[in-house]
A = this chain, B = another copy of it.
Amino acid sequence: MNINEKMFGLGSKRSIIREIFEYSKKRANEIGKENVFDFSLGNPSVNPPEIISETIKTLIDTEDGTLLHGYTSAQGDFNVRSTVANSINKRFTLSLCADDIYMTCGAAASLSICLKAIMNDGDECVVFAPFFTEYRVFVENAGAKLVISTPMAKTFQIDIDDLEKKINSNTKAIILNSPNNPSGVVYSEETIVKVCSLLKKKSKEYGNPIYIICDEPYRELVYGDVNVPYLMNYYDDTFVCYSYSKSLSLPGERIGYIAVNPKMTDARSAYLAVCGAGRSLGYVCAPSLFQQIIGRCIDAKVDINIYKENRDLLLEGLTSFGYECVKPDGAFYLFVKALEDDATAFYEKAKKHELLVVPCDDFGVKGYVRIAYCVDKTRIINALPAFKRLAEEYEK
């Protein structure tokens, strides 16, 4: 093959989610969309806050088009970055400034850039199962090796003993994703304190910082009185990769940022490496109109009660039918134990009841499926009897 085989592989290997997406469309044509209970996609179902639309229209009507749609500096508009820094400072009692923030085209870009900025060939990056499948792609593109740490059974919190075994002198970073996709688990403060303490010990032992990369697109999607520790308050060598995809329901607009902890080892150099990595990957600047939207709507929020109601309804229903679910404090996913060892076989049986759920083998945990409840409530109500029938089928 004359082209790059690895890229061909990445482009041609369909993810299971993509496969389900195509099946769902086909099936909807056959039996009607309302009869297909598709829970496969993590696409926000709650509208962006009204102020987003209003602000877009105001900007269009009042700003000069060549400025509004013009290039910003590569790291992002200065005022927008100041606003982001101040918002972080206010919420988490920190003292970041505009030059600690680098605006990005969403979380995938944030992660890709961050990894590229710090990784050298032969470095390793630890991720915690279950993990977002694209981590492997981003880590490998940065020339590093993905190492998977297995979680505690049932709670799906981080297993510190296992993490310690996975760390060696090549470990450059770990990726923390809390609330977690696909489990919905929020790592407790107790877990975080243990992880940080271990990393501090190991960084000292090897004479090099081990970075924490926080992947936080689901930070604002937390239900009830649950604390999501902000890692910069626990660990200096922290990058925060944020995205407004979920918090403002703008996943297609590709807008987010990287926050580089100013207390990090060689923080200025790390920030410059982030700038260099963005340049190297072809990111010129984050979309300019949506940078301005973030600058003006930083305190806007989607109505997460809609997700909470969905979660409660689904959780209550499924547990009453005998399903075993991981305690879901955040994100919009329910991580459910398949009713047989083989999650793919379970997925196939669920399909016969028109239930489309994602088998999670690729997420690094076997025997579970992910149910995305970012859907119309009606879909959940109508799907519950099908989930019941599916459970009954296994009881026979």
Contacts and interface: CB of A to CB of B under 8 A. Distances in A.
Contacts of A266: 1-3
A141 B265 CA distance: 26
B276 A9 contact: yes
A280 B2 contact: no
Contact of A272 (B11, B265, B271, B285): B11
Nearest to A12: B272
Interface string A49-78: 000110011001100111011111000000
A382 interface: no
A266 B2 CA distance: 9
A130 interface: no
Among A9, A11, A141, A265, max chain B CB count under 10 A is at A11
Contacts of A284: 105-106, 108-109, 251, 254
Contacts of A140: 280
Q: How many copies does the complex hold?
A: 2
A70 B251 contact: yes
Contacts of A386: none
A283 interface: yes
A14 to B, nearest CB: 10
A168 to B, nearest CB: 16
A211 B177 CA distance: 40
A335 interface: no
A319 interface: no
A241 to B, nearest CB: 11
Given A3-B117, A3-B266, A282 B108 contact: yes
A116 interface: yes
Contacts of A12: 269, 272, 275-276
Nearest to A138: B282
Nearest to A46: B66
Given A252-B289, A285-B252, A289-B253, A11 B279 contact: yes
Contacts of A117: 3-4, 7, 11
A153 interface: no
Contact of A137 (B66, B72, B272, B280): B280
Interface string A167-189: 00000100000000000000000
14 contacts: A9-B276, A43-B70, A47-B64, A48-B65, A53-B65, A56-B60, A66-B249, A69-B249, A69-B250, A70-B251, A105-B283, A105-B287, A109-B283, A137-B280
Interface of A: 1-4, 6-12, 43-48, 52-53, 56-57, 60-61, 64-66, 68-72, 105-106, 108-109, 111-113, 116-120, 134, 137-138, 140-141, 172, 208-209, 249-254, 265-266, 269-277, 279-291
